[in-house]
Structure 1
Amino acid sequence: MIRDQSVSHPESAVLHFIDNAGIARVKYVPASRLESLSSGGVGLSPIFGVLTTDDTFSAVPGLDPCQGDLRLRPDLAHERVLPGSPTWAWTPVDQYTQQGDPWPGCQRHFLRRMVARAETQGLTFLSAFELEWTAGRSEGQDWQPIHDGPSHGGVLTPVLKDHFAALFSDFATAGISVDHGHAEYGAGQLEVALGPTDPLVAADVFGLARQIIHQRSHADGWQASFAPLVTGAVGNGAHAHLSLWREGTSLFAPMGNGAAMHHDGESFLAGILAELPALTAIGSPLRISYERVKPGLWSGAWACWGLENREAALRLEGAQGPNAHKSSNVEWKAVDGAANPYLALGAMIAAGLHGMEHELRLPPPLQGDPSLTGPSEGEPVAKLIPQSIEESTDALGASAPLREALGDLLIDSVIATRRQEATTTASLSREAQIARSRRRY
């Protein structure tokens, strides 16, 4: 076992996992125990598989709230230093049964399985997330954002430059690659685009980056929230990027024969497109998530694909020009900050592999904005993705490809978590939903 050499003599450690509601959960342990825990683990109730946003439990057959135990094993090959806390290490965990078998409800094991399944077909991936969050302060009942625009505004540099400089330094300390950062459209909204890497590492970095941003915001006197909606109409996304490769060739890049992309790349993308209604329950886990994925907000509300089209749920990026053979990737836009990154990437891969197996083909790409099509011009050229948590959860329950990939326990746990979310929030106002989730992500 090779541990991250950037972690030098930690005294304590954060053991980190993300549950099906997208909440980061941790245990703290003395660093002296890490080696033994990597094989023996630390205990956790299996009922955490159906823990919801407000710390109530849903129910799934086989998960007894009073019975059983899991073992959380730190993956020391992916251990990192926790910036700003040099005596602390941070490590993701895998969930095992007491008998030492991978627990079928573990999201990290699921992603690992999907990557391994793809490797049997000679496929590899690079993955990354764009993280958006809202920074501000609570002042009584009011929320004071760190800025009120303009988006990407140079006038905000005096306010934001020291904050971003500290964040970039923290990311570098933790070994996290960052492409860029900026002020986004929403009041107080900020964004960083993380660099591409292996899917398992990308999902780990999603969790660690959020932890770093929370810590740096706290140190600078602010609060950070990755909740899908915090203020106004513009919500926080966590757009998932995936590129597909075989023997060094990008399968999303244009072919020399004039084809838009490789035949297998098209089938892979068509598989994701076919499962978009079910995938929405994974990428948009809260009722308030559906206030974010609306037409006209560049949030991927339309169930289609398009070349560089920000209204399409699946945006094929970097697939034109001289660098397309290096930069081609698909961006799933309808993923927000409450999503579990292991589920999001694993489900994308599972759907794509199903599309390849059945040699699915893509319809024409979205051109323009479907919402601008008037009644006199006929129906919009695309349908909307599910616009409620009930609709997307029903679609997930009906998805045979995703049930086969996730397994009964994991998919039933996700569905139970979503149904509990739907029940709990059915009578809550928009403002109450925002208040409920703002401090939990």
Structure 2
Amino acid sequence: MDSAERDQLFDRATELFDGLNARDVAAVALTWVDNSGITRVKSVPLRRFAHAAAWGVGASPVFDAFLFDDWIITGRHAGGPVGDLRLHPDLDRITVLAGQPGWAWAPADRHLQDGTPYVMDQRGAAKRATAKLAEQGCTAKAGFEIEWVIGKADTDDFVPATTGPAYGHTRQIEMSDYCADLLRALDQQDVVVLQLHPEYAAGQFEISTAPEDPVAAADTAVLVRETIRAITARHGMRASFSPKVVVGGVGNGGHLHLSLWKGEQNLFVGMTPEAESFSAGVLAHLRGLCAVGCPSLASYLRLVPSHWAGAYVAWGTENRETALRMIEGPHANLEVKCFDLTANPYLVIAGVLGAGAAGLAEQAKLPEPVVVDPVSIEGVPRLPTSLAEAVAEFEKDDVLTETFGAELAATIVDVRRGEMERYKDASPQGIANVTRWRH
């Protein structure tokens, strides 16, 4: 990044000052998501925002080696005390936070001191994968489903804050003010919500957002989660996005919806050969992708058959038990059902786009679709049943290693192994307890 680029960033951020100041913004939160799926933050007063845009805000690279519980491992490329990075806010995404008066937010790109992009920046990995797909003549649109539960705030156990039945209007009535405040906040932040509804588990809700550019979709997933967290706290409750809040209960998913485009043509409408090849690529690398999309020990408490979690390496049209669900109609898209919200959404985008691009390059073909619950068919392979199995699949997948780069791929593995070692003696209930309020 040269002096002219820094001057441009400074001037752009300066131009934003009056509008932010008029809306009573005191500070801007700059967020990034670590390899354990935790959103980390550094903030600057509004009057320092232009300087931060041009020169960045210091942050140690040690965060790449953080586990979800803030334990720091020593990895092959991360984890030591030496070095510094700079957080540069994306000025195109600056958002005044309706759920946190006095605050604005922007996702940050991590750079070296000289302005060079940091090789292990997860948002950067998503950008590179998006650009690689464009080199093959295609673009993608993406959106995440966000599932969470709301619990009472006076206990570390999970006590649902609402008693209404699954999918029931009673539950939404009990949380009427809360849901309305959440939707108002998201609307004020220019988040296009497609729907909100009570989900199956006790105290569970779900929001789906409109499809957008893949990196923007990951940004939106971060913004939506933190808005949910803020509004929930303002209503005197706690929010959990953990894949298994209570052992034996239904988990929270983080499904990814993805469509492939050439110009104005959605290639999934009518399942074109390109859409098939892209989907076949995702399916072929899905076991390794679990190391980024189902990245925690708690993920494998959720990823079980016959719970609509998508536990099998299979695809089907409107089949909610296959890992890949093909959705038909004018807004046709591919839903990846097996992922959850302990995942870093930027890593999810990078990995899925990298796998799909490999399928495009190979002109891969899908197997026959599965039209029943896969548990009833002999020979349909399971997705990994443990984090250790997912990591082993990830390590031997050359496409994923190339997508993420050797350093980031190795660090992902190191962090996963750190979690496995730290909680190797924990019971399922112990894992659920320790992860419940971290995501």
Which residue of 382, 385, 388 maps to 2:386?
388
Q: Is the alpha carbon distance of 1:368 and 1:351 closer, same or farther for their aligned partners in structure 2, counting shifts above 3 Å?
A: same
In the TM superposition, 1:54-203 aligns within 5 A as: 54-63=69-78, 65-140=80-155, 142-203=157-218
Structure 1: distance between partners of 2:172 and 2:358: 46
Q: Is the alpha carbon distance of 1:37 and 1:236 closer, same or farther for their aligned partners in structure 2, counting shifts above 3 Å?
A: same
Which residue of 230, 251, 254 maps to 1:235?
251
TM-score, normalized by length of structure 2? 0.93
Find out whether 1:275 has 2:285 as its counterpart. yes
* Letter aligned with residue 252 of structure 1: F
* Between 156-165 and 283-292, the greater mean CA deviation after superposition: 156-165
Find out whether 1:292 has 2:302 as its counterpart. yes
Q: Alignment partner of 1:287: what SS?
A: coil
Q: Is the alpha carbon distance of 1:178 and 1:5 closer, same or farther for their aligned partners in structure 2, counting shifts above 3 Å?
A: farther
CA RMSD after TM alignment: 1.7
Q: CA deviation at 1:149?
A: 4.2
Q: Is the alpha carbon distance of 1:35 and 1:141 closer, same or farther for their aligned partners in structure 2, counting shifts above 3 Å?
A: closer
Q: Alignment partner of 2:126: what SS?
A: helix
Which residue of 423, 426, 439 maps to 1:425?
423
Q: Alignment partner of 1:28: what SS?
A: strand
* Letter aligned with residue 56 of structure 1: W
CA contact (8 A) 1:305 1:315 kept: yes
Identity %: 37
Query: What CA deviation, in whole Å up to 9, does each residue of 1:229-271 have, x standing for no partner?
Result: 11242101110111000021111121xxxxxx21111111100
Find out whether 1:367 has 2:382 as its counterpart. no
* Between 431-440 and 343-352, the greater mean CA deviation after superposition: 431-440
* Between 364-373 and 218-227, the greater mean CA deviation after superposition: 364-373
Match of 2:268 in 1: 252
* Letter aligned with residue 438 of structure 1: R
Query: What CA deviation, in whole Å up to 9, does each residue of 1:368-417 have, x standing for no partner?
Result: 112234xxxxx24x211001000000111111001111101111111111
Structure 2: distance between partners of 1:171 and 1:282: 27
CA contact (8 A) 1:7 1:79 kept: no
Q: Alignment partner of 1:128: what SS?
A: strand
CA contact (8 A) 1:39 1:73 kept: yes
Q: CA deviation at 1:32?
A: 1.4
TM-score, normalized by length of structure 1? 0.93
Q: CA deviation at 1:27?
A: 1.0
- Number of residue equivalences: 423
CA contact (8 A) 2:61 2:85 kept: yes
Q: CA deviation at 1:138?
A: 4.5
Query: What CA deviation, in whole Å up to 9, does each residue of 1:138-167 have, x standing for no partner?
Result: 444642102344221022232022111111
Q: Alignment partner of 2:29: what SS?
A: strand
* Letter aligned with residue 170 of structure 1: A
Q: CA deviation at 1:86?
A: 3.7
* Between 57-66 and 352-361, the greater mean CA deviation after superposition: 57-66
CA contact (8 A) 1:425 1:433 kept: yes
Query: What CA deviation, in whole Å up to 9, does each residue of 1:338-363 have, x standing for no partner?
Result: 10000001110000001111111110
CA contact (8 A) 2:97 2:104 kept: yes
Find out whether 1:346 has 2:350 as its counterpart. yes
* Letter aligned with residue 357 of structure 1: A
Match of 2:273 in 1: 263
Q: Is the alpha carbon distance of 1:72 and 1:348 closer, same or farther for their aligned partners in structure 2, counting shifts above 3 Å?
A: same
* Between 388-397 and 92-101, the greater mean CA deviation after superposition: 92-101
Structure 1: distance between partners of 2:53 and 2:70: 27
Structure 1: distance between partners of 2:402 and 2:264: 29
Structure 2: distance between partners of 1:87 and 1:140: 29
Structure 1: distance between partners of 2:45 and 2:71: 29
Match of 1:403 in 2: 401
Q: CA deviation at 1:59?
A: 2.6
Match of 2:20 in 1: 8
Match of 2:226 in 1: 211
* Letter aligned with residue 221 of structure 2: F
In the TM superposition, 1:293-312 aligns within 5 A as: 293-312=303-322
Query: What CA deviation, in whole Å up to 9, does each residue of 1:22-53 have, x standing for no partner?
Result: 00101121111122212211111112112111
CA contact (8 A) 2:172 2:197 kept: no
Q: Alignment partner of 1:129: what SS?
A: strand
* Letter aligned with residue 374 of structure 2: P
Contiguous gaps of at least 5 residues in structure 1: 255-260, 374-378
Match of 1:17 in 2: 32
Q: CA deviation at 1:118?
A: 1.3
* Between 146-155 and 51-60, the greater mean CA deviation after superposition: 146-155
